[in-house]
């Protein structure tokens, strides 16, 4: 009696899967539920034969409408994908996308179901050699060059004139930056670059005194710095990079004193210093091939600097006892717009 029950169960189980199917793609997942979000229980390879549940098929090859045909597909509500129910190695139900399977009907229905269903196998991860140009492998040498227009808050400077100051005007600092970088050799993900930055910026200052005298100052800064950049976020079309540098900066100021009696004298003040900078940039990749659009922002830690005169004063309105131009310390905001070439 027990043997009869066992054979009956095996017979019913075999009849529950009344069709076979052949896997058409390189590797197809068997899912725990008819959903692309379900857990992958197993994978099957091209040419593997799998069993398919009879709920998906009509009772006859000539039958087009029946209760069975209403149960042909199991539809996932999210992805609108069709699944066949099959069995995994553990003997439990599993589901496979029907587009990956050719059903063996053993009748004329097979003529309408081609074996070559895909022009390109969506599951074939293998690479043909030689690899196509531009394939995203890590290159030993990779370089970037940038040209940026900058706009920054001004740096405040002061000179101890004898006359009372009644008006002062500081213009925005404008400049350019040129950056050259190379990918570090141990970076396999094309994120970490090291290079050099050269920059120049200038801002104008105008002072007015009670007696009608005026001073016009042109403050320029020339800088060179080691430059480090790291891509903290990247997609196919954009990147966000963090960067840092400590520049050796040459400060140069031209000061022109114009007295009310039309007496005029121009002097030059200069000094060297170090200027740390920390910032980030967003890059729109391949605006044109191999060229990116760059938008950046940074904070410049401006140290206090005393600029010494290149020559002694001639007129009496200069302070001979304290004849220096002082630049105050503080944080300056800097914004950049430009292009970046990758090669």
- pLDDT tens-digit readout, 126-181: 877 887 776 666 566 689 999 999 999 988 888 988 888 888 888 999 999 999 99
Position 72 pLDDT exceeds 50: no
**Over pLDDT 90: what percentage of the chain?**
52
Are 329 and 292 a contacting pair, CB within 8 Å? no
Lowest mean pLDDT among 52-56, 119-123, 172-176: 52-56
The answer to whether residue 14 scores a pLDDT higher than 60 is no
Read off the tokens for 309: 């005169």
Is the pLDDT score of 43 beyond 70? yes
Q: Are the CB atoms for 324 and 307 separated by under 8 Å?
A: yes
Q: Which residues of 80-91 are buried (b: 16+ CB within 10 A; e: fewer)?
A: ebbbbbbbbeee
Question: From CA 223, how far away is CA 200, in angstroms rounded?
Answer: 6
Tell me how crowded residue 9 is: count the other CB atoms within 10 A of its CB.
10
Closest to 101 in 3D by CA, of 182, 178, 29, 195: 29
Domain ranges within the chain, ordered by starting residue: 15-112, 143-342
Q: What is the pLDDT of residue 140?
A: 61
**Predicted pLDDT at 243:** 97
Give the pLDDT confidence score for residue 139 in this predicted structure. Answer: 62
Alpha-carbon gap, residue 235 to 183, rounded angstroms: 18
* pLDDT value at 254 more than 60: yes
| Assigned architecture for domain 143-342 | Beta Barrel (2.40)
State the SS3 of 207-229: EEECCCCEEEEEEEEEEEEEEEE
Residue the block writes with tokens 């760059």: 294
* Superfamily, domain 15-112: SH3 Domains (2.30.30.40)
Instruction: Please tell me the predicted confidence (pLDDT) of residue 106.
Output: 78
Mean pLDDT on 46-63 = 72
Query: What's the pLDDT tens digit per position in 275-299?
Result: 999 999 999 999 999 899 999 999 9
For residues 228 and 230, what is the distance between their CA atoms, to the nearest angstrom?
7
Residue partners of 3: CB distance under 8 A and separation at least 6:
none
Residue 271 contacts residue 302 (beta carbons within 8 Å) = no
Mean pLDDT in residue range 185-194: 87
Return the sign of the alpha-carbon dihedral for residues 253, 259, 260, 262: negative
pLDDT at residue 66 greater than cutoff 60 = no
Mean pLDDT of the chain, nearest integer:
84
């Amino acid at each position: 009696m027990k043997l009869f029950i066992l054979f009956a169960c095996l017979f019913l189980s075999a009849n529950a899967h009344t069709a076979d199917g052949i896997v058409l793609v390189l590797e197809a997942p068997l899912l725990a539920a008819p959903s692309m979000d379900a857990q992958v229980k197993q994978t099957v390879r091209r040419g593997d034969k799998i069993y398919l549940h009879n709920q998906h098929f009509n009772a006859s090859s000539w039958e087009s409408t029946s209760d069975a045909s209403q149960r042909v597909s199991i539809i996932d509500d999210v992805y609108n994908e069709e699944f066949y129910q099959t069995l995994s190695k553990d003997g439990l139900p599993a589901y496979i996308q029907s587009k990956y399977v050719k059903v063996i009907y053993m009748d004329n229905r097979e003529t309408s179901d081609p074996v070559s269903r895909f022009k390109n196998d969506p599951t074939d991860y293998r690479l043909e050699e030689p690899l196509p140009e531009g394939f995203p492998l890590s290159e030993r040498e990779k370089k970037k060059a940038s040209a940026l227009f900058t706009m920054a808050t001004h740096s405040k400077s002061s000179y101890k004139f004898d006359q009372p100051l009644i008006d002062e005007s500081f213009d925005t600092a404008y400049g350019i930056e040129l950056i050259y970088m190379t990918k570090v050799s141990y970076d396999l993900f094309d994120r970490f670059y090291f290079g050099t930055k050269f920059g120049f910026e200038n801002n104008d200052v105008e002072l007015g005194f009670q007696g009608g005298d005026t001073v016009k100052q042109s403050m320029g800064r020339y800088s060179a710095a080691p430059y480090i950049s790291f891509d903290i976020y990247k997609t196919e079309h954009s990147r966000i990079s963090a960067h840092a540098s400590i520049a050796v900066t040459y400060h140069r100021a031209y000061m022109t004193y114009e007295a009310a009696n039309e007496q005029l004298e121009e002097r030059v003040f200069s000094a060297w210093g170090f200027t740390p900078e920390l910032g980030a940039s967003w890059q729109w990749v391949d605006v044109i091939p191999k060229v990116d659009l760059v938008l950046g922002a940074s904070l410049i830690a401006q140290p206090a600097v005393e600029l010494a005169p290149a020559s002694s004063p001639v007129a009496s309105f200069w302070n001979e006892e304290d004849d220096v131009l002082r630049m105050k310390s503080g944080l300056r905001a800097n914004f950049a717009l430009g292009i970046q070439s990758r090669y």
